[in-house]
Amino acid sequence: MNNVSRGRTEGRLFGLRTAASIAVLAGAAASVGLLLRATDRNPSQLLVVLLAIWVVSPLALFWPSIVSKRWSVPTRVTLYGVMLVVPLSCLAIYVADAIWPRTSPGPFVFIPVPPASWLFSALVVLAAALISGTRSRRADGA
């Protein structure tokens, strides 16, 4: 890849990374707001704080975006895509819980969503890394 195309690719990745970072931050803030709405009658402030920490745990997606500078372009694009999809999906679930009457007690929906998002993120990025690594080895003639 020549320097011009590498520069264009890095510029596009920077834009995607910026959008993904904004989505993760906005998603975390909105998730906490929806959690506070769901727990407004809960007398245990400690429980609400612990749930808030749990709900913003997908912010951990920032760590791979920081260390991904040496990853292949397809893997980084996948990571940034996951960083866009996860907060939007979490918000869709939390908003649906806020709009429609629930059959589960209190903020139940806020408990399984973060680990499901971790699992989804790990599997998708790992698959992209494995596929990208296989392609690059084939291209190198290995």
Write out pLDDT tens, residues 51-108. Answer: 899 899 888 888 888 888 888 999 999 999 999 999 999 999 999 988 887 776 767 8
pTM comes to 0.79
Q: Using CA atoms, how far apart are residues 123 and 5, in angstroms rounded to an integer?
A: 30
In the chain, how many domains are there?
A: 1
89, with CB counted inside 10 A (0-12, 13-18, 19+), is middle
The whole-number pLDDT of residue 4 equals: 45
Encoded tokens for 10 = 């890095």
Contacts 24+ apart (CB under 8 A), 95-101: 95/34, 97/34, 97/38, 98/34, 98/37, 98/38
Domain limits for position 101: 3-140
Give the DSSP per-residue string, 79-105. Answer: HHHHHHHHHHHHHHHHHHHHHSPPSS-
Q: Using CA atoms, how far apart are residues 94 and 32, in angstroms rounded to an integer?
A: 10
